[in-house]
Structure 1
Amino acid sequence: MLVPPPLSLYIHIPWCVQKCPYCDFNSHALKTAIPELDYIDALIEDLEIDLAAYGLNEGQRPLHSIFIGGGTPSLISPEEIGRLLQAVQQRIPFSDDIEITMEANPGTVEAGRFDGYRAAGVNRISIGIQSFQDEKLTRLGRIHGRDEAIKAAERATAAGLDSFNIDLMHGLPDQSVDDALSDLKQAIALNPPHLSWYQLTIEPNTLFYSKPPTLPDDDDLWDIFEQGHQLLAEAGYVQYEISGYSKPGKQCRHNLNYWRFGDYLGIGCGAHGKVSFADGTITRTVKVKHPRGYLNPSKPYLDQETQVPDSERPFEFFMNRFRLLEACPKQDYPARTGLPFSTIAEPIDWALAQGYLVDNGEEWQITEHGKLFLNDLLAAFVDEDEDD
C-alpha cells in the first residue's frame, strides 16, 4: 500500500542577470526590472490552486522543506521573500524543524542582505560560487569575482543561518588538477556545513554545446575526483550523495526528500511537482515555462499533469534512491511506489548476483562495484515491454 511520504515545496524564480554558457535551467536574462510584486502574487495563487486540486489544504501533510531556486532568487528583495513565505505558511502548516533554502549568487548579494533573508524565514542559503579563480569565472559567464565569492560565504556564516551550501564545479575549461584542487581547498577553508562539488557537463541547448570548450581529459578528471574526495574526507565532510558532501547532520533535507522518492509541490515558471495519494496514484506536474505565459492572467499555471504508471515506478524509485550512498530500507519500495516486491524480484536477484547490491535482510546497499556500473543497474528496472 502506498503511504504518502514527506511533502516539500519547490519555488522557481526564473530571472538572472545574464545566462551562463553552461546553464540549461529554465532561466531568463533580465531585460527590464523584475515584476516582483506580480510574480509573488502569482506564486501564491499557483500554490492555492495546487493545494485545493490535490486535497492538501486541510493541513494533514505539513511542509518538510522549501527550496527557492532559479535563476537567481537573490534578485528578489528580502521583503518579498518574506511575504511569500508568510503566505505559504498561512495556507499549509510547516513542520517544527522545516528547512527553508534559497539559492543566491555572490554577484547579487550586497552586505547585510543575508540578514534580511534570514529575518524573512530562510534558514539555509546555497551560494553559487562555482570557482574562486577570476579567469575561470569569466569563462563560465559568472558576474562575480573571487573576492565577492569569499565575502558571500563569510556573510552566510555571520548571518547565523542553520546551514549554508557552497556550489563548486570542477572539470572546467582548461582547468588543471592543481586549479581544481585549489578551488576546493579555498571552499573548505570557508568551512561551509555543506558542499555541492560536481563536474561540469555540457548540456544541449547551451552556448557551450554549440561552441564546446576544451575540458580536462578523463585521467585528469579522475585525479581531481580522487584527490578532492580525500581532501573533503580529511576536512570532516561525508559524501552522502553523488555530488553532495556535508558535515555530520548537515545534509540537505530537501534533496534527501527528492532522492528518497518523497513528494513535492512545484510552483513558478517551469517548476516540476510530484504528489502521491493513498489510493496508489502518483501525479507529476509541470508549470508554464516562460514568465510571459506564467504571468498571463487568462492562462492556467499548469502546463502538464500526468499519472506515473506502475510500469515506470521501479525505475523512477531506484533512479532517485541510488543517487544516495545510504542504504535503502526495503519497506520504502512498497510504501513509496504502492507496488509489491514481486515487481522487482528478478532485477534485484540479478543485481545481487552481479555484486551491484548487497542485501542485509532489512536494506539494500549499493556497492562500490554498483556505483561504477550504475547505468547498467538502473537499466535492469526498466520495463522492456514499454513502448519507446
Structure 2
Amino acid sequence: MIQSGIGLYIHIPWCEKKCPYCDFNAHALPVAHQLDPDLETRYLNQLLHDLDEDIETFGIAAELTSLFFGGGTPSLLSSRGLGFLLAEINKRLPITKTTECTLEANPGSSDHAKFVGYRAAGINRLSIGVQSFSDTALQQLGRTHTRSDASDAIQAARRAGFSNINLDLMHGLPGQTPDSAIADLHYAAQFAPEHLSWYQLTIEPNTVFYSTKPKLPVESFLQAITDQGLDWLQRQGFARYEISAFAQGDALQSKHNLTYWRFGDYLGIGAGGHGKLSRQNATLDIQRTQKTRVPKDYLNSPNRRVTEVPVEERPIEFLMNACRLVEGFALKDFERTTGLAPKALQTFVEKGVQQGLVTASAGRITPTAAGLEFLDSLLLLA
C-alpha cells in the first residue's frame, strides 16, 4: 500500500491545432475554445474510472502533494467540468491546502471568466504556454495566439486572483537572434511571473518540423542566447533550479516537476498518461504505467500497461532526472528511491568528477555548469 504523498498527472489530449514542433500526445480537434459538453462528460467520467482502477490495483491511500493538468490543451475544459473532476478526485485522494494544483493554459483558449472558474474549482497555479512574444515567431511555431492574446491571458489570470503563474518560453527559434531571444524575456518580465520555463526548441521525430527542417540559429547564436539569457534571468531574481526552470524563490519551484526530477512517485491518468509507483516488498519494486494513447480508444477503456523498472535500468533512469537539477542529489536519496546501494554509481561519479561534469562532497553529487550544459555527455558516463 502507498500511503505517503503522491503526485497526480491528468492528461487532456486535445488541441484546437497541433503545433509543428510538438511530439506530445496531442490530437487536433476543431473546437471553439472549449470541448463539446458530451465529450467532456464522457472523458471526465473515464478519468475517474481510470483513477479508481489505479487506486485499487496499487493500494493507494495518500494525500496528493501535487496535481498537474497537462496536454494537449487542458484549458479546453470548462470550469464546471474541472470543478466536478477535482471534487471527485478529492473524495478519493485528499487535496489539501498545501497541494499544488497546476493547469496548463493556452492563451488562445483562455479568458478571465474561465480563469475565475478554474480558481474557484481549486486550481492554484497556472502554466501559460506563451512560447514567444513575437508574432512572427508564433506564426512560425504554428501557434493559434498572438502576442496580444498572450498578454491578455496573463493579465486575465492576475485579475482572476492567481498569484503563482509560470510562463513557458522557447528559445533557439527559426531566425532568432540573441537580441530577439532576450527581448522575449524582457517582455515577460513586465508581468512579474513567479516562474519561467525557458527551454530550447528541439526538433523531434514524428513532428512536422522533423520533415520540413526549419533553419535554426547557428551554434554561436544558440550559445550566446543561453549565456545572455541565464545572466539576465539571474539579475532579475530568477533562481535556476533545473536546466530549464527558474523560480522567484524556493517556495515557487514546481512541486510536481520536482517529483519527476527527484524520481518520486506519481499516478498518470488520461489518454497516454504515464505514472511511476514504488512499493516496498521483500525488495523495492518500481513500476511504470501507461494508458491507451488514442482518445477514442481511451474512452472505451484506459487499458493500463504496467512494466517493471529492472534493477539494471534504475541508475540511468534516476540520473536522467536528478542530473537536471542544479542541486543534484544526495546518495541517500538515490538509495531510497532506487533500492540500490550508492556503489552502483561509483564509476559514474569517478568519471564525472574527472571530466569536470559533477562534484562529489558530503554524500551529495552536484552537476557543474558544464554538466548541466552537456547533460547528454554526462549521462553517457552512467
CA drift at 1:53 = 0.2
CA drift at 1:262 = 0.5
Kindly indicate whether the alpha-carbon contact (under 8 Å) linking 1:5 and 1:262 is maintained by their aligned counterparts in 2: no
Farther-moved stretch of structure 1 (178-187 vs 74-83): 178-187
CA drift at 1:359 = 2.0
Give the match for residue 348 of structure 2: 347
CA drift at 1:353 = 2.9
Kindly indicate whether the alpha-carbon contact (under 8 Å) linking 1:6 and 1:262 is maintained by their aligned counterparts in 2: no
**Which structure exhibits the higher relative contact order, with contacts defined as CA atoms closer than 8 Å and separated by 6 or more residues?**
1
Q: Which ranges of structure 1 fall in alignment gaps of 5 or more residues?
A: 382-388
User: 2 CA distance for matches of 1:137 and 1:226?
Assistant: 23
Is it true that 1:263 corresponds to 2:265 in the alignment? yes
Give the match for residue 295 of structure 1: 299
Matched pairs, number: 373
CA drift at 1:110 = 2.1
| Within-5 A mapping of 1:217-228 | 217-228=218-229
Amino acid at match of 2:351: W
Amino acid at match of 2:247: S
| Within-5 A mapping of 1:33-52 | 34=36, 35-52=39-56
1:36-89 superposed Cα distances (whole Å, 9 cap, x missing partner): 000000001100000000000xx3x21110000111111110010111111111
Give the match for residue 21 of structure 2: 22
CA drift at 1:162 = 4.0
CA drift at 1:310 = 0.4
CA drift at 1:355 = 2.8
Give the match for residue 385 of structure 1: none
| Within-5 A mapping of 1:56-95 | 56=60, 59=61, 61-95=62-96
1:317-367 superposed Cα distances (whole Å, 9 cap, x missing partner): 111101110131221011000111232223223323333222221312112
CA drift at 1:144 = 0.9
Selected match of 1:275 from 268, 274, 277? 277
Farther-moved stretch of structure 1 (24-33 vs 97-106): 24-33
Farther-moved stretch of structure 1 (362-371 vs 203-212): 362-371
CA drift at 1:4 = 8.2
CA drift at 1:94 = 2.6
TM-score (norm. length: structure 2): 0.94
CA drift at 1:31 = 4.2
Residues 1:174 and 1:25: Cα distance change in structure 2 (over 3 Å): same
SS of residue matched to 1:198:
strand
User: 2 CA distance for matches of 1:181 and 1:348?
Assistant: 35
User: 2 CA distance for matches of 1:10 and 1:363?
Assistant: 29
Amino acid at match of 1:38: R
Farther-moved stretch of structure 1 (256-265 vs 221-230): 221-230
% identity of equivalent residues: 46
Give the match for residue 241 of structure 1: 242
1:206-244 superposed Cα distances (whole Å, 9 cap, x missing partner): 111111111111111111111111111111111110111
Q: What's the RMSD between the two structures over aligned residues? A: 1.6
Kindly indicate whether the alpha-carbon contact (under 8 Å) linking 2:112 and 2:157 is maintained by their aligned counterparts in 1: no
CA drift at 1:140 = 1.0
Selected match of 1:252 from 251, 254, 259? 254
Kindly indicate whether the alpha-carbon contact (under 8 Å) linking 1:358 and 1:366 is maintained by their aligned counterparts in 2: yes
TM-score (norm. length: structure 1): 0.93
Amino acid at match of 1:238: A
Residues 1:264 and 1:235: Cα distance change in structure 2 (over 3 Å): same
Farther-moved stretch of structure 1 (157-166 vs 280-289): 157-166
User: 1 CA distance for matches of 2:163 and 2:54?
Assistant: 29
Farther-moved stretch of structure 1 (167-176 vs 265-274): 167-176
CA drift at 1:161 = 2.2
Kindly indicate whether the alpha-carbon contact (under 8 Å) linking 1:4 and 1:278 is maintained by their aligned counterparts in 2: no
SS of residue matched to 1:239:
strand
CA drift at 1:267 = 0.3
Residues 1:16 and 1:372: Cα distance change in structure 2 (over 3 Å): closer
SS of residue matched to 2:17:
coil
Farther-moved stretch of structure 1 (162-171 vs 72-81): 162-171
Kindly indicate whether the alpha-carbon contact (under 8 Å) linking 1:5 and 1:336 is maintained by their aligned counterparts in 2: no
Kindly indicate whether the alpha-carbon contact (under 8 Å) linking 2:68 and 2:103 is maintained by their aligned counterparts in 1: yes
User: 2 CA distance for matches of 1:365 and 1:5?
Assistant: 27
Residues 1:369 and 1:229: Cα distance change in structure 2 (over 3 Å): closer
User: 2 CA distance for matches of 1:345 and 1:133?
Assistant: 47
Kindly indicate whether the alpha-carbon contact (under 8 Å) linking 1:285 and 1:302 is maintained by their aligned counterparts in 2: no
Farther-moved stretch of structure 1 (206-215 vs 173-182): 173-182
SS of residue matched to 2:23:
coil
SS of residue matched to 2:111:
coil
Amino acid at match of 1:268: G
SS of residue matched to 2:19:
coil
Amino acid at match of 2:295: P
Is it true that 1:158 corresponds to 2:162 in the alignment? no
Is it true that 1:310 corresponds to 2:311 in the alignment? yes
SS of residue matched to 1:245:
strand
SS of residue matched to 2:43:
helix
User: 2 CA distance for matches of 1:133 and 1:162?
Assistant: 25
Farther-moved stretch of structure 1 (36-45 vs 137-146): 137-146
1:126-163 superposed Cα distances (whole Å, 9 cap, x missing partner): 00011111121111111111111011111222222241
1:72-121 superposed Cα distances (whole Å, 9 cap, x missing partner): 11111001011111111101123440000000011001232111100000
Is it true that 1:138 corresponds to 2:133 in the alignment? no
Kindly indicate whether the alpha-carbon contact (under 8 Å) linking 1:188 and 1:232 is maintained by their aligned counterparts in 2: no
Residues 1:90 and 1:198: Cα distance change in structure 2 (over 3 Å): same
Give the match for residue 107 of structure 1: 108
